[in-house]
Amino acid sequence: MCGIICALGVSDVATAREKVIRMSKCIRHRGPDSSGYWNRGHDILGHERLAIVSLDDGSQPLISIDETTAVAANAEIYNHVDLYQIYGQTKLRSKSDCEVLMYALQQENPEEFLNSIRGIFSFVVSNGEDCLISRDHIGVIPLYWGRDKDGAIWVASEMKALLSECIYFDVFPPGHFYSSRTKELKCYYNPVWFREIPTGEPNFAKLRSAFETAVIRRTKCDVPYGILLSGGLDSSLVASVLTAQLRKVAENGADTGKTTKIHSFCVGFDKNSPDLRYARQLADFLGTKHHEVILSIQQGIDSIEDVIWYTETYDVTTIRSSVPMYLLARKIRSLGIKMILSGEGSDEIFGGYLYFHGTDDPKKFHEENVKLLNELHVFDCLRANKSLAAFGIESRVPFLDRDFLDAAFSFDPKFKCSIDGRIEKWVLRKTFDDADIILPSLLWRQKEQLSDGVGYSWIDELIQHTNNKVSDYMFSCREMLYPHNTPSTKEAFYYREIFERLFPHRSAVGTVKKWVPNWSKDLDPSGRRQLTHQYSTYTVSASSCS
């Protein structure tokens, strides 16, 4: 992941440029390879680069041929070649996939251009007079914006870069853009299934093809890459599809140096944790170069403050899950790997969380799907992006591909409901049931949340540790101390204390949401607290779930 920091419409350009350079250091972990700055008119663009594509000539900000326009982007645009052809550009300064984003500023109505992008992005493009800010459809890439005391707009990949300058700031919403020409924030991503309940039966062949395309799109890079492999359904499907496709490439003699023996990574707090056991099985089956990182509980506890600093949240579920991912990221980066594929988004799309067993109403099920997708940018997308970006690693998420989302929401949600004995995410499992690329025991494994799958003792000891750290008296003052998003447990109180110390700005607390399972009487977000959770090995045949 790269990092951007931009100041737009400033009155004192020289001073603002110095501030941009200084503030840029706060997010240098996102882009440790190079730094770049550009200014024209009253706008300054800053960029911290993680080189993934176009290693030699892709440094940013990228500047147009006539040197009038520049773009600073944290982005991966998978269809940039097609976009160049559509919009008629023939002279390019680089081979970067991000240079195409400058077209956004040329459009009278940018919605069509933004909707034609297949990829993930947060970017600012400026010509010194006009500027445009935008973020991808789901918010895979983080972005914050705010204003200083003089009314200038500041934009950054992480809010820590805005603390010293903005009088207020907020999350820049996914699927939106802001144009200085209209002074309006507008939504460009509004699929029909956001507003209407789909009908019809699932087309398994279409769903499978869309997912395979989504995975392969995300292998476009010029650096070594790997996959996060928990042994759960989602990461297992990504790994299995990726391995199968790379083998086809090699068998056809079109291998361009990429190996079918990809790196896979799994983390746990116990060598016998559910995730480690299942991931090991699949790695053996696929023949990946598998890496296990086994942590101590104390290592996890010791890293909590760092995790809150990098992830910029106090949400209990996000922190529980971010700790092992953050510690795993250091191992990944030590091996020289800068890009990782992962399985985020599947549970939101298909209702994979165990609390979805709490409703058999397709309408309510679908509405919860859409709600979760619209909140992913402050939960799982935030965790995956920022935990890995702490060590200069980019995450790519095939399940959140725009075309795959359309395929996954093209049929009646009743097929996603866990009714008539169906296991959660039955549609996704059934899509690959006749394939020989994944072990059946993993294809039909019950959902295990990341913070549980790394080892059940992790959450138990974390709760005990935080209970010991927060006195009964302090906890009794929680409503007075924290009237907004008041902590409901001592664990939540402990995280909130750290967060407010690290991010004392009055706007910071409002950027965070609390993840709470719906249709559940137990407010602890752990999947183990759901009645449908099975502690023993959970396997089920496809026929018994059809």
Domain ranges of the chain: 3-190, 205-458+473-541
For residues 279-298, average pLDDT = 95
The pLDDT of residue 256 is above 60: no
Same fold: 3-190 with 205-458+473-541: no
The pLDDT of residue 289 is above 50: yes
Model pLDDT for residues 182-206, shown as the tens digit of each residue: 999 999 999 999 999 999 999 999 9
Q: Which CATH superfamily is domain 205-458+473-541 in?
A: HUPs (3.40.50.620)
For residues 233-248, average pLDDT = 93
Is 2 in the active site?
Answer: yes
Q: Please report the pLDDT score of residue 89 as a whole number.
A: 63
pLDDT band at 419 (very low <50, low <70, confident <90, very high): confident
For residues 326-351, average pLDDT = 95
Looking at the structure, give the CATH architecture of the domain made up of residues 3-190.
4-Layer Sandwich (3.60)
Give the closest residue to 292 by CA, choosing from 270, 275, 267: 267
The pLDDT of residue 540 is above 90: no
pLDDT band at 295 (very low <50, low <70, confident <90, very high): very high
pLDDT band at 91 (very low <50, low <70, confident <90, very high): low
Mean model confidence pLDDT for the chain: 91
Q: Please report the pLDDT score of residue 274 as a whole number.
A: 85
The pLDDT of residue 541 is above 50: no
Give the torsion through C-alpha atoms of 218, 262, 3, 329, to 10 deg: 140
Strand partners for 178: 133, 185
DSSP string, 76-126: EETTHHHHHHHHT----S---TTGGGGHHHH-SSTHHHHHH--EEEEEEEE
Model pLDDT for residues 357-413, shown as the tens digit of each residue: 889 999 999 999 999 999 999 999 999 999 999 999 999 999 999 999 999 999 999
List, in order, residues 6 or more apart from 364 with CB less than 8 Å away.
Answer: none
Q: What is the DSSP letter of 400?
A: G
DSSP string, 337-359: --EEE--TTHHHHHT-SGGGGG-
Percent residues over pLDDT 90 in the chain: 78
Residue from 2, 6, 131, 266 carrying the catalytic annotation: 2
Percent residues over pLDDT 70 in the chain: 92
How many CB atoms neighbour CB 94 within 10 A? 16
